[in-house]
Amino acid sequence: MGAETDLWVPVVDCMGQYTHLIKRRLQRLGVTTGVIPVTTPFGEIREADGLVLSGGAPRIGFEAEKLDNLKDYLDHFQKPVLAICVSHQYLAIHYGGTAGVATRPEYGPTMVEIVGDDPLLEGIPNHITVWSSHNDEIKILPPCFKTLARSTNCAHQIIKHCSLPYYGVQFHPEVSHTEHGLTLLSNFVRICSGYSQGRHTQSCSDPV
């Protein structure tokens, strides 16, 4: 970790309290990055090698319109995207899923079980403690996504699109309390590098 790369992976600020931490972690991984507002036109980031969409204050069931500029990114970017917390929920809604108030909101340390195989999870054990901070959750996952991790109270802790390099995580990998959070971010950077060189990750139809 920390080797210099030629990758540009900006952090889209969705009004989150940990956005600055995402930028620091990416800088530690040697990535060219910076924080940009969620209102940034797609044309200004179309040449990026990947995007990280931060968590944020908007409640997905009440204020999702504050994130509506993400539609343009998700419709046209088609390079690796990592959506965190509320952006993770927005990702599911954008593709036809549903999200709303969690039956049991999660705050603080949360045990997560890895249930899928993916390059994003390389080097991460099957059970990790992560840092959670969410009142809302994905209720119904769209059919074009698969679940890679879950917790006792949240069925979709990590998700991946079946044919696009779009990932969502409900917890906060950027926070130091999340075990193997930097590993997950490093794996995402590696996925970005692979796409920039024409290598793709597996889809839902690929064997695991």
- Active-site annotation holder among 85, 94, 179, 192: 85
Distance CA 114, CA 116 (A): 6
Give catalytic status of residue 174 as yes or no.
yes
Q: Are 112 and 153 in contact (CB under 8 A)?
A: no
CA distance 80 to 184: 13
> Is residue 138 within 8 Å of 92, Cβ to Cβ?
yes
| Active-site residue, 85 included | yes
**Among residues 106, 137, 174, 179, which one is catalytic?**
174
Please confirm, yes or no, whether 137 is among the known catalytic residues.
no
Give residue 10's identity as a one-letter amino acid code.
P
Q: What span, in angstroms and rounded, lies between the C-alpha atoms of 56 and 54?
A: 6
Catalytic residue among 137, 172, 179, 192: 172
Task: Kindly list the catalytic residues.
Answer: 85, 172, 174
